[in-house]
Amino acid sequence: MTFSPSPKSVRFDDAQMWVELEDGRTLGIPLAWFPRLVRATTAQREDFFLSPDGIHWDEIDEDISIAGLLAGQGDMTRPGKRAA
């Protein structure tokens, strides 16, 4: 079992999602990795909740795990797609 730090905060700019982790790291994730976030309005992007293992958006049906982000994985809803 591997440990993934919990998310502490999330913010967005025009091209990135910035995830601050409880261990002090900040991840810069391209929005292009997550088509639902790209298509979402600013209000929809900001309407998330944090859990110990990830970030969740009910309205746009998006769930992103911290373990997946740390592994370099983007949208996993389509088989065979992997972030570069």
The CATH number that applies at residue 57 is 3.30.2020.40
Q: What global pTM score does this model have? A: 0.85
Q: In the numeric block, which tokens belong to residue 2?
A: 């591997």
| DSSP class per residue in 59-83 | TTTEEEEHHHHHTT----SSTT---
Structural domains counted in the chain: 1
Whole-angstrom distance, CA of residue 25 vs CA of residue 23 = 6
Determine the structural domain holding residue 50 and report its residue range: 8-70
Report if residue 79 sits inside a domain. Answer: no
Give the E-state strand segments of 13-74 in sequence order. 16-21, 26-30, 49-51, 54-57, 62-65
pLDDT per residue of the chain (84 residues) written in tens, 0 to 9: 567 899 999 999 999 999 999 999 999 999 999 999 999 999 999 999 999 999 999 999 999 999 999 999 888 775 544 454
Report if residue 1 sits inside a domain. Answer: no
Report if residue 44 sits inside a domain. Answer: yes
